[in-house]
Amino acid sequence: MEESTWDLVRRSLLPLAQGMLEGTIPLTALSFVFGLALALVVALMRLSGVAPLVGVARFFVSVIRGTPLLVQLFLIYYGLPSAGFPLDPFPSAVIAFSLNVGGYASEVIRAAILAVPKGQTEAAMTIGMGRATTLRRIVLPQAARVAVPPLSNTLISLVKDTSLASAVQVTEVLRAASIIAGPTYEFFLLYGLAAVYYWVLCLVLSFAQTRAEARLDRFVAK
């Protein structure tokens, strides 16, 4: 008996959800957290005024922004094993996406820090705060509010970019859809269903962005 379209949809919902929960979401979360940490370091290197650090940071950003993400992913997954550093698909994808986020988000963070009025830093220094304390208590909280919208866009883009991980055998939503579509030839239906999963996740993140902006408003100097 031939399987109906609705039966195929119902049968596909759980595998696609599993791909989302076990592949797309963990890959997005880990890559974004590691990428933000790297981005902060790179941004501070750019702002340090130390020529070697500034040069290294600029070179890193230039390479990341000047090469395709898929090429970066292939370099990590296929290139490192040939150099004697074999990696499983999931860690390879995390490394590649983290480096990519770090390159793009570093410029966002640097611009956000520069957007904080210099008077805020000068006022903190006059009451005895050191540079590190001023950065942590005064500059970064205000910069965070400025950086939330573009960083949220980076996160949403990352969610969609994780579909590229299917090219290195990571079982996320797109690969789960491809596996199901293979024997049925219902590629339009399954890929459309995968698109809905990505869309819903991006809607949730957009809602979280709005809430985060509202909570961070209290850190902005009026």
Give the per-residue pLDDT at 14.
92
Q: The tokens of 29 are what?
A: 């979360």
CA gap 201, 163 in Å, rounded: 13
Quickly name the fold that domain 5-219 has. MetI-like fold (1.10.3720)
H or E element in which residue 9 lies? helix 5-19
What are the residue ranges spanned by the domains of the chain?
5-219
* Mean pLDDT for the stretch of residues 175-181: 92
Lowest mean pLDDT among 131-135, 157-161, 168-172, 217-221: 217-221
Give the per-residue pLDDT at 216.
65
For the entire predicted model, the pTM comes to 0.87
Residue 121, Cβ neighbours under 10 Å: how many? 17
Lowest mean pLDDT among 31-35, 111-115, 141-145, 161-165: 141-145
